[in-house]
Each structure stands twice: as structure tokens, then as C-alpha cells.
Structure 1
């Protein structure tokens, strides 16, 4: 998506100046989940635990294209610091991108940026959830995605609590800086929910209609009146490098993101 806004920022405001939110590149889990859904299987064929699932070959190419984009950022737009999910696919995305950009920025890992935990639904397709846990499937539909918590997992509301905690620490640790955050689609949507003051229906509508694409960029700028999204889900750097764009909606409760 193209630039949405060009209004000047407010450099005197305390806390983080800008957030550059990037979803990791396509992962082996994204590919395995898509294959299982197409085949109508109940279980996703993935040997690694969620935290250890790496990028696919295409995901690594997307991360390199992100690095090309980072290299083109001018002073004032370029990130000053990188905070990253500790999950392998996110770390690989950050490291590959920084190497491609020739950047020496250190990567700070924070477990609050990890993906949403799915509990007993982990590695199950939609067919698998409906077949093995029909009561949970019904409960999820009744409560809605934002408040449904799978046993042993997290709801979006739970995820929001750790995102709020992280944003407070970012303001204290990175005042007046542009922070690159490399994480997961549900985390990025939740950051927007908190920063932009979205409602439950608004954030879920965003997740449904415009899923966060792999290695796409969203930029939030702090203004006197609050946070404003100036760039949303931008994948122009992938298209410029002739790198295939992938969406892999990881927003469903039953799929690894």
C-alpha cells in the first residue's frame, strides 16, 4: 500500500518516534500449513516446534529484499534500533535483512514479540479442529477471535496485554527513535490495535480483509494527537526485486503463523 500521510512528526513528544513493523518472511510452517489445508488434512506436517520453525527458501529471498529496502532509507526514515521476536523465522528475517543492507544495528530479542500461542490447536488445520475438538470450534465461533482462548493458548486479548507492556518499555528504552520491529502478523495487528486505538471489530476487519503479507512494511508515526499509520502492508520492495509476494493468512486460530 502506498504512502497514506505526509504530515510532519512531533519530535518533542517523549517516547518512540516511529515504529516500522515487519512480518517475517515466508516460513516452512506457512508452506506446510497451506499444503495441509489444500489436501484436506487434519494435522500439519511440521517437525519443529513453533519457536524453531525457519524461513522457507522464498522467505529468505523476501528477507533479502527487505534488506534492499532498508539500504535505501534516508536519514530520519531509517530505523535506529531493531527489536525482534525470538522465534527463528523472525530472527532470520532480521539478520538476513540487516546483512543485505550492510547495517551493523544489533538485534534485541524480546519474548513478548513471539507469535500468539495456540495451545491444543497447534498444528491442526481447520478440518482438524472441527473433527477433533468440535466443542472448541463452536466455542471459538461463539466468543469470536478476539476473546477466544484455546486451552493452553492465548486469545488476542491476552496478546494485547503483552504488547501493551512491550510498548511501554520501548518508550522508556528508545525515546525519540525509529524502532524496527520484526514479528508476526497477529502481533503487528495487535500493535496497530493498541497504538491507533482501534476497536475489536476494526482490528479483526483489518486482519480479515488485509492480512499482513510476509516481509511487508507498516510504518506508524507518532503525532501530537497520537499514532498514525503512514504506510500499511507495503510490499513494493519485494515486487521491485521480482521476489514473489506471499500472504499466508496466519490469523486463523488453527494455523501456525
Structure 2
């Protein structure tokens, strides 16, 4: 079994979040609901670069994507294939009442929840109406059980999902996962496991050519 995970390319939401953080805003200017956030123009270029990288390697036997638009657009542009299976267990973390808020916005609007997050830690903290990282782990355990025993599987998903895949596949502790999370998973990066052994994590050389 080979599992190749890609994080979706830059979305308009990623760009809007960076702009909000630079300006000190409390709210990220994203008009769409989370499943409908598309790729940015730069994100589409990233996906094409990823496609050239993947074309130099053995093609996957199976492609599975989060149903969120930014993930599906990425893998379609990168592979040119239409036989892509959608699986809602790969969706991005549901941020509940925190959606569209910057860290500053969360502190200002939900001070008690902010303090609870600091006490409980990111892995187990669940935003109001949202998911914790441990919730993601539960759905990914189910996803991994349903994969074929052999073959090359390409997965298009989101940064939190890829971190939790590493937690499960590498047998990390909560502390080890939080240490890994200190380095962000880049847009359109590639992470690769074969028979449970990690070969590469957060590979971005194809974007720097």
C-alpha cells in the first residue's frame, strides 16, 4: 500500500486569511461557505506544477478527494482525471462558530472559549459547533480501514487532515503531533507513506522549480 497525500493548492480563503492577519482584522473576508471556497489564481498554477511532478511518477490506482471544492479542483488540475472518488471523511476541520475568525477575533468574541482552548490543548478542544483534532482522528481511522490492502492511493485533503494522518500512520503521541504541527503543511505539498513507513512529509520542491 502506498498513500500519497496532497494538501489543496492555495485557495481564496488562504489568501484572505493572510490579508486579515496582516491588517489585524477579526474577521476573514470569505463570502462562501467553507465547502465552496475555490482556488486562487496562484493556487491553480500550483496545482499545475504539482501535476508536472506527479506525471514523472507512477500513476495512482485510486484517487480520493475531500468533497470541498478547493481539494477537488486541485486534484483535477493536477491529474487531469475525472475518476475521482469523493469521501466526506477527508473534509476540512469544522471550525463551528470560529469559522471566518482570526485568532484575534476568537479572543475578542469568545474569551471563555479561548481560555478553555489554552487549558485543554488543540488536540481535544472543540470549538462551539465544531470539531476537535481527535474528532478528525476518529473519521480518518474509519477511512484507513476502508482502503484496499494494496495499491497506490492519491488523497487530496486539508492541512489538519494531513497532520492527523501523520498522527495515525506514524503512531505519534499528542505531544509529538503538536510538535509536528509547529511547521505548517504547505499548500500543494506532498506527503508519502509506503506500507506504513513515512517516505516524505510536506515536500514542496516541485513548487520551487
Aligned-residue offset at 1:228: 1.2
Instruction: Select the residue among 147, 153, 158 that pairs with 2:135.
Output: 158
Aligned to 1:88: 69
Equivalent in 218, 224, 227 of residue 191 of structure 2: 218
Aligned counterpart, 1:202:
176
Normalized against structure 2, the TM-score is what?
0.98
Residue 26 of structure 2 corresponds to residue 42 of structure 1: yes
List structure 1 segments (4+ residues) > 4 angstroms apart after TM superposition.
none
Q: Which runs of 5+ in 2 are unaligned?
A: none
Distance 1:44 1:239 in 2: 28
Q: How far apart are 1:192 and its partner, in Å?
A: 1.0
2 CA distance for matches of 1:90 and 1:105? 14
Structural mapping, 1:232-243, within 5 Å: 232-240=201-209
Aligned to 1:53: 37
Structure 1 unaligned segments of length 5 or more: list them.
Answer: 1-16, 241-257
Q: From the CA coordinates, give the structure whose radius of gyration is larger.
A: 1
The CA distance in 2 between the partners of 1:93 and 1:182, in whole Å, is 8
Q: Is the 8 A contact 1:24 1:215 kept in 2?
A: yes
Could you tell me how far apart the structure 2 residues matched to 1:125 and 1:19 are? 32
Q: Measure how far apart 1:129 and its partner are.
A: 0.5
**1:105 Cα deviation (Å)?**
6.2
Q: What is the number of equivalent residue pairs in this alignment?
A: 209
Following superposition, the deviation at residue 70 of structure 1 comes to 1.1
2:86 alignment partner, one of 87, 102, 109: 109
Partner SS for 2:150: coil
